[in-house]
Structure 1
Amino acid sequence: MVNIFKLNTTELEALVQYKEVLEEGQRFPKNFWTEEKEQTKGLKLKCRVLTRYCFENLAGLKVKDFPKYNLKQLKSILIKYKLFGMVQRVFNHDVLAILKNAYPEEFRTRELKEWMWSKHGIWHNDDAIIEAVNEMVKKEGIRRIEDIPTLNWKDRLLKHGIYNVLSYFNWSIYSLFNFVYPNKFHPADFKYKVKWAAADSLENAFYYMHKIFKKKKYSLEEILLLNTSDFRKLGLAGMLASVFNSSTLKAKEYYLYKTVGDKEHQKELKADIKKLKKMKYDENIRKKLSKVAVGGYIYNLHSNTTLYNYIKRHAKKNNMSINNFISSYGFVYKSARKDIKKINKDDIWNLRKQGFTYVQIAQKLDSNPTTITEMCVKYFGGDPLIPRPIEDYITVQELMNKYRVDHKTVMKIVYENGFENHTTIRFRYLKKSEIEPALKEYKRTSKHHQFMIKRYAN
């Protein structure tokens, strides 16, 4: 607030006149503003004290509150408290000049800055732009210039109230910071989509890839082996889709040859990539084998099921035996597993025909039931006890469903007539040409059967 005890005579007289205007509704004396209107240098003392009194004592504003108001609002406060003559005659409606006259020390110490009100108008002063951006960067806690491109500056420009400074730079974040910090950045450093749609998008892509690869310390071999997922993890997915049609091959071609779509260059790249993939593939397998190797020998690989299946799968893929596949990587394979005894399919057939179960057959042939089952399916199409051709035979369940008789009746007819009776693991097969005529005759002649049908029919 204005302290009247620190005012000089001129300021006190002006303040007395101002209070009379406010309290008694009088006008300012004639030619009250004339002297300071014609003053070209130095501070206008009467205007200063009246402005400060108006803002601080009457409107209750503090210096730190001024940036919250635009110039039009500050002007309306001055007019509200009868200072329109000063605004019009002395300063020609230049509110910023009024503030600078009233608070010269605050502007000198940069507590108040001219650009604080530029957000309400157009930026013309280069120094104001530089000062505003530097202060914003400082308030955001940025201490290194190279960290600037990592942030979303459009949101921060809005936050600090200087967003329309971009209009001075055709709304380009890069142009703004390049103006404030000349030759410190490249357009591709900043995270905005336009850089991939611009005329120099290929150069931007090269610069950005080089920057990322250099930061990650990638070798040429590592760059060649990058896939789409790797580009995405590196933050290059947008570039890949926009500039190279999502083709990693084209991106690598431009990075290494500065060409796009050159057949010879792509052919060389494909050959190099294939070679590197093979080397990586071999190195991976060699590494896995070396973990279980003992002095160049690999014993009993079957004990490590995961590795055995892995080696078996890749050996099959290369049309090689496990032994040859392992030998191709410089190791000698010595299996501790006993050689599986070769099983004769005729032995299985004969034993099964004798009525032995798969478990009993496996015990007799030093094998296991699963192997016996697989061999039966492979060589006989199933259980050897199943009669052939299967079309000439029918199961008991099928007969029960078809002729509406029970299991006991069917088997009674079979045993009484000595019909063919083939029993397998799951089913009992009877010959159609024998059992079906017998069942039909039974249904026709059996009074008990007819009685039961009549009984349950009702």
Structure 2
Amino acid sequence: MVDLFKLKTDELKALVHYKEVLEEGNRFPKGFWAKEANQKKGIKTICRILTRYCFENLCRLEVDDLPKYNLKQLKALLVKYKLSGMVQRVFNHDVLAIIKNAYPDEFRTRKLKEWMWSKHGLWEDHNIIIEAVNDMVKREGIRRLEDIPLFNWKERLLKHGIYNVLSYFNWSIYALFDFVYPNKFHPSDFKYKTKWATPEALDNAFYYMHKIFKKKKFTLNDILLLNTSDFRNLGLAGMLVSVFEASTLKAKEYYLYKTIGDKQHQRELKEDIKNAIRQKRDKEIKERLSQVAVGKFIYNLHSNASLYNYIKRHARKNHMSISDFIARYGYIYKSARKDAAVINKDDIWNLRKQGLTYVQIAQKLGSNPTTISEMCNKYFGGDPLIPRPIEDYITVQELMNTYRVDHKTVMKIVRKNGFENHTTIRFRYLKKSEIEPALKEYVTNNKHHKFMIERYAN
């Protein structure tokens, strides 16, 4: 509010005339605005005090309230309180000039800024645009430029009341920030949802992958080992599907070779991936071995079942003994227990086909009957001597139940006709297509069989 006790004489006289205009309906004296209308430089003190008196004393507006009104509204307030002559003759309807004349100290300290009213009109001054954007970024608490693309700037431009600054940049967020911070951003940074549908999709994909890989500090091997889940976790699932047909191989090929579908490059890439997987696996194995090693020795892995099974699995995969496998990584394996022999299922099959029992096979292969039986169930679905396909064969007991004949009769027919005869540990299997027609003929034609059936029918 204007303090009357701090005003100069000419300012007080101007206020007296202004009070008469407001209260008595008089006009301003002739030539009242002439002096300051012709003043080219400096503060126009009469206009300054009258403007401030109008805003602060009559309209009850504080300095911080002024940006809430657009220039048209502020002009309407000045006209309402009889200052239209000043607006027209002294400032030629330039309301922003009136405000700057009334509050020079506030503009000098940047408490008030020109761009605060640009949001109500057009943006033309480059410095004002830069200042407005910098002020918005500062108010949002952003201290690093690389964090700027992470925000939804359309919402924040609306929040700070400067959304129409985008009209100067054809409504492009990227163009705005590239103008304020030259060469700091890429177009794809500000077009997350649409960048994969543009003609520059491949360039955007390369830039975005490079940006993320650099941020995560990925090595070449880390990139080669990325799978679909990794791309999804990195926020690249949309890119992978839209640009590279959901193929991680194509994405890696383009990132490393800038080609897509090149056979030679893909072969090289696959080989590099295999090597990277091997290196990663070797590193993991060596790390796990180092946890249980005592110097260069590793003692009795059997006490650590998890690690023992892990090492045994990889040793078997490489067709090596556990000792030799561990030696590859610079350690010496010492064990008080002999490692279980590696049994080949083909050996079991061949020995069983020769007629050896499970006990004999176990003795021959250095194992035990239980292990042999479990392997037969696992790999063959039971005893290898069981004929396959099992649907084409039938047991003697099933024949006895179906045709009401005894075991001796069935075997007599088998031996007489030389039918297939498969004996396993539990059952004897006969071929259906051979034994069933023979049994039907026997049941139909054999008088003794008919007599016995009739005799014991009741």
TM-score range, shorter chain: 0.5 to 0.7
Q: Tell me the equivalent position of 2:227.
A: 227
**5 Å matches for 1:229-244?**
229-244=229-244
Q: Tell me the equivalent position of 1:4.
A: 4
Q: Tell me the equivalent position of 2:410.
A: none
Contact 2:2 2:52 in 1 (8 A): yes
Amino acid at match of 1:259: T
Q: Tell me the equivalent position of 2:363.
A: none
Contact 1:253 1:269 in 2 (8 A): yes
Amino acid at match of 2:105: E
Contact 1:323 1:333 in 2 (8 A): no
TM-score, normalized by length of structure 1? 0.68
CA offset digits 1:299-357 (Å, max 9, x no partner):
66554433344455556656x476598478476686725979x99999899xxxxxxxx
Q: Tell me the equivalent position of 2:337.
A: 336
**5 Å matches for 1:86-165?**
86-165=86-165
Query: Residue 161 of structure 1: CA displacement?
Result: 1.8
Q: In 1, Cα distance between the equivalents of 2:180 and 2:290?
A: 58
Amino acid at match of 1:225: L
**5 Å matches for 1:70-85?**
70-85=70-85
Of 264-273 and 82-91, more deviation after overlay is shown by 82-91
Amino acid at match of 2:252: K
Q: Tell me the equivalent position of 1:13.
A: 13
Query: Residue 116 of structure 1: CA displacement?
Result: 0.4
Query: 1:391 is matched with which residue: 390, 395, 398?
Result: 398
Contact 2:20 2:26 in 1 (8 A): yes
Contact 2:327 2:333 in 1 (8 A): no
Query: Residue 220 of structure 1: CA displacement?
Result: 2.4
Q: Tell me the equivalent position of 1:249.
A: 249
Q: In 1, Cα distance between the equivalents of 2:90 and 2:453?
A: 126
CA offset digits 1:373-412 (Å, max 9, x no partner):
998953787xxxxx95232466xxxxxxxxxxxxxxxxxx
Local SS of the residue matching 2:42: coil
Q: Tell me the equivalent position of 1:179.
A: 179
Of 321-330 and 249-258, more deviation after overlay is shown by 321-330
Query: Residue 66 of structure 1: CA displacement?
Result: 0.8
Of 55-64 and 290-299, more deviation after overlay is shown by 290-299
Of 99-108 and 5-14, more deviation after overlay is shown by 5-14
Q: Tell me the equivalent position of 1:47.
A: 47
Q: 1:436 to 1:162 in 2, by over 3 A?
A: farther
Q: In 2, Cα distance between the equivalents of 1:42 and 1:241?
A: 64
Q: Does 2:383 correspond to 1:378? A: yes
Q: Give the number of aligned pairs.
A: 385
Q: 1:391 to 1:295 in 2, by over 3 A?
A: farther
Query: Residue 113 of structure 1: CA displacement?
Result: 0.9
Q: 1:113 to 1:283 in 2, by over 3 A?
A: closer
Query: Residue 201 of structure 1: CA displacement?
Result: 4.2
Q: 1:158 to 1:325 in 2, by over 3 A?
A: farther
Q: Tell me the equivalent position of 1:259.
A: 259
Q: In 2, Cα distance between the equivalents of 1:324 and 1:302?
A: 13
Q: 1:70 to 1:258 in 2, by over 3 A?
A: same
Q: 1:161 to 1:348 in 2, by over 3 A?
A: closer
Local SS of the residue matching 1:378: coil
Contact 1:74 1:95 in 2 (8 A): yes
Contact 1:54 1:81 in 2 (8 A): yes
Q: In 1, Cα distance between the equivalents of 2:205 and 2:384?
A: 63
Q: In 1, Cα distance between the equivalents of 2:195 and 2:357?
A: 77
Query: Residue 123 of structure 1: CA displacement?
Result: 0.5
Contact 1:196 1:243 in 2 (8 A): yes
Query: Residue 52 of structure 1: CA displacement?
Result: 0.9
- Gapped regions of structure 1 (runs ≥ 5): 350-365, 382-386, 395-423, 425-432, 442-458
Amino acid at match of 1:180: V
Q: In 1, Cα distance between the equivalents of 2:284 and 2:71?
A: 71
Q: 1:73 to 1:267 in 2, by over 3 A?
A: same
Q: Tell me the equivalent position of 1:402.
A: none
Q: Tell me the equivalent position of 1:455.
A: none
Amino acid at match of 1:336: R
Query: Residue 262 of structure 1: CA displacement?
Result: 2.4
Of 202-211 and 48-57, more deviation after overlay is shown by 202-211
Q: 1:231 to 1:90 in 2, by over 3 A?
A: same
Contact 1:22 1:82 in 2 (8 A): yes
Of 306-315 and 1-10, more deviation after overlay is shown by 306-315
Q: 1:294 to 1:51 in 2, by over 3 A?
A: closer
Q: Tell me the equivalent position of 1:272.
A: 272
Query: Residue 138 of structure 1: CA displacement?
Result: 2.6
Amino acid at match of 1:176: L
Query: Residue 61 of structure 1: CA displacement?
Result: 0.6
Contact 1:152 1:191 in 2 (8 A): no
**5 Å matches for 1:26-41?**
26-41=26-41
Q: In 2, Cα distance between the equivalents of 1:392 and 1:260?
A: 66
Amino acid at match of 2:169: F
TM-score, normalized by length of structure 2? 0.68
Amino acid at match of 1:390: Q
Query: Residue 70 of structure 1: CA displacement?
Result: 1.6
Q: 1:295 to 1:107 in 2, by over 3 A?
A: closer
**5 Å matches for 1:288-303?**
288=288, 291=291, 301-303=301-303
Query: Residue 2 of structure 1: CA displacement?
Result: 1.2
